[in-house]
């Protein structure tokens, strides 16, 4: 172990250091409480503090209290060394944060006994810290898995709902905006029927990779379900969301994954998309998604492989955004 000895008496310091060194421990030495505190802050991995009660500057009990209050990187086993044998004073030191005590003049065997106990306790604390770290890592992995679609590696429906709720709350708070684009792989059932479900899974993964290759810093993509994907764009206008959606649609068509059994050209895998932008505090995230879904349905009705924008007026049909605005 690494032991810090704090004592203003040279004889006591030498005795404690000699005993600890003989037992194979590494020792650091300070002549008062303030010096001990500075050594704790600057030294890596002190396990035990042997501190005198009465020292100039910061005394032993105050050093104990400061360690317990501020030195939280790891557990420090503290033994208070004192000439005071009054039980009330001993309890005062223990309440200040000491784990054990020694009465001066110190007995080498008593020092050894305290260090044996200290090693046992510090070892247990190290094990607990490692177990806690392992549990935190496992929890983080489990949380990540619970929010990730296992087939595509994209965020799943749960992650999408959390992020959409956050985007909505932020827009309400700061007066910003956000939008979504809901996509569907065109004629995906026909692809599965003719090429098989394993090939269909490959297409889902390819489309997901294509999304990840073209989305930007303020955009997030999720597997919405089945062959549907959702793009969330923060701090964006309707034109900006439409441009992002068109960028994705073009990229997927550009992969040129052959789909020879679709009833309409082109004979490659394509996407249809519906775009909607949050229109104000009276529109909920669910209503925003419904607007995007309505626009997607209309895009599929108009022949697929295109992106339509939801109209702000419920009486109007979804619109194809002019190309000049998508550049």
pLDDT at 318: 59
Cβ atoms of 271 and 186 closer than 8 Å:
yes
Within the chain, all domains assigned CATH 3.40.50.2300 are found at 2-140
pLDDT value of position 323: 46
Eight-state DSSP code of residue 260? T
Element (H, E) at 231: strand 228-234
Distance separating alpha carbons of residues 264 and 268, to the nearest angstrom? 10
Beta sheet of 26-30, edge-to-edge order? 26-30, 2-6, 48-52, 77-82, 100-103
Sheet holding 178-185, edge to edge: 219-225, 228-234, 178-185, 271-277, 307-309
**Which of 219, 227, 239, 298 is the catalytic position?**
227
Q: What is the pLDDT of residue 321?
A: 58
3-state secondary structure of 149: coil
**Known catalytic residue at 227:** yes
Note whether 242 and 325 are within 8 A (CB). yes
Query: Do the beta carbons of residue 47 and residue 76 sit within 8 Å?
Result: yes
Buried b (16+ CB within 10 A) or exposed e, 181-217: bbbbbbbbeebbeebeeeebeebbeebbebbeebbee
Residues of the chain with CATH 3.30.70.270: 157-326
pLDDT given at position 232: 97
Residues of the chain with pLDDT under 50: 322-327
For 2-140, the fitting CATH number among 3.30.450.40, 3.40.50.2300, 3.40.50.300, 2.40.110.10 is: 3.40.50.2300
Q: What is the largest CA-CA distance in the chain?
A: 97
Q: Report pLDDT for 317.
A: 55
CATH of 157-326, one of 3.40.50.300, 3.90.580.10, 3.30.70.270, 2.40.10.10: 3.30.70.270
Predicted pLDDT of residue 312: 64
């Amino acid at each position: 172990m690494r032991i810090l000895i704090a004592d203003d008496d040279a004889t006591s310091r030498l005795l404690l250091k000699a005993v600890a060194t003989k037992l194979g421990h590494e020792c650091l030495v300070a002549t008062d409480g303030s010096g001990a505190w500075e050594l704790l802050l600057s030294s890596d991995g002190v396990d035990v503090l042997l501190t005198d009660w009465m020292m100039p500057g910061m005394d032993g009990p105050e050093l104990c209290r400061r360690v317990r209050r501020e030195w939280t990187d790891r557990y420090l086993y503290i033994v208070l060394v004192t000439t005071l044998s009054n039980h009330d004073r001993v309890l005062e030191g223990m309440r200040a944060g000491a784990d054990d005590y020694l009465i001066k003049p110190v007995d080498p065997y008593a020092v050894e006994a305290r260090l044996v106990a200290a090693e046992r306790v510090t070892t247990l604390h190290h094990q607990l810290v490692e177990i806690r770290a392992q549990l935190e890592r496992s929890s983080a992995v489990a949380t990540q898995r619970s929010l990730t679609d296992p087939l595509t590696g994209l965020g799943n429906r749960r992650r999408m709902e959390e992020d959409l709720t956050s985007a909505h709350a932020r827009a309400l708070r700061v007066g910003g905006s956000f939008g979504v684009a809901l996509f569907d792989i065109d004629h995906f059932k026909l692809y599965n029927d003719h090429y098989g479900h394993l090939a269909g899974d490959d297409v889902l993964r390819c489309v997901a990779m294509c999304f990840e290759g073209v989305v930007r810093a303020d955009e997030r993509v999720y597997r919405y379900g089945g062959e549907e994907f959702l793009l969330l764009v923060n701090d964006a206008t309707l034109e900006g969301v439409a441009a992002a959606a068109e960028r994705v649609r073009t990229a997927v068509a550009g992969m040129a994954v052959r789909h020879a059994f679709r009833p309409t050209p082109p004979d490659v895998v394509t996407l249809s998309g519906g775009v909607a932008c949050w229109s104000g505090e009276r529109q909920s995230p669910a209503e925003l998604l419904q607007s995007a879904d309505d626009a997607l349905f209309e895009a599929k009705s108009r022949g697929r492989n295109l992106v339509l924008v939801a109209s702000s007026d419920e009486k109007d049909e979804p619109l194809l955004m002019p190309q000049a605005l998508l550049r």
